[in-house]
Amino acid sequence: MKTLNCPLNGPRNITEFAYGGEVEKMPAPDAGAHDWAAYVFIEKNTRGVVREWWMHLPTSYWFIADRNTESNEVIATYPADEIFIEKTGFTGDG
């Protein structure tokens, strides 16, 4: 059984988690169709150590994992706010 160490819930069976893709910089809302298509569809699909999103399904908790995609070794897991330190600029008037 492969386990993943959830920063909120501790080590759990990997079947409790959903993979959320590599961490990538989101384009600006007005970046244009091409950049958005690339962001949504094109994958880096890195062979090696990757920083990626995971979610613990029972608690809907999203976090980041550094994982080696050749050996499947999970190097570290940590809360997303360790790398997303800037606040997003939503104004709340939409």
Partner 1 sequence: MPFGLLKYGLNRRYPKDPLYGKPKSLKPSYDVVIIGAGGHGLAAAYYLAKDYGITDIAVLDKGYLAGGNTARNTAIIRSNYLTPEGVQFYDESVRLYQGLSKDLDFNILYSERGHLTLAHTDAAIRTARWRAEVNKHLGVNSELILPDRIAELCPELSLAEDVRYPILGALYHAPGAIARHDAVAWTYARAAAALGVEIHTETEVTGIQIENGRAVGVETKAGTISCGRVLQAVAGMSSVVAKMAGLELPIRSIPLQACVTEPVKPFLDPIIVSGSLHVYVSQSDRGELVMGGSVDPYPLYSTRSTLEFKEELMMHMLELFPFIGNLRVLRQWAGIADMTPDFSPVMGATPVKNYYIDSGWGTWGFKATPVCGKRMAESVATGIVPDVLLPFALERFFRFEQVGERGAASVGH
Binding site for partner 1 (CB under 8 A): 1-2, 14-15, 18-19, 33-34, 37-38, 41-45, 47, 69-72
Beta-carbon contacts of 57 under 8 Å, excluding residues fewer than 6 positions away, are: 16, 17, 18
The nearest distance, CB 21 to partner 1, in angstroms, is 8
**Phi/psi of residue 84, nearest 5 degrees:** -95, 80
**Contact (Cβ atoms closer than 8 angstroms) between residue 14 and residue 4:** yes
Task: Return the residue matching tokens 């608690």.
Answer: 59
| Closer CB to partner 1, 19 or 84, in the complex | 19
| Closer CB to partner 1, 43 or 93, in the complex | 43
| Closer CB to partner 1, 8 or 38, in the complex | 38
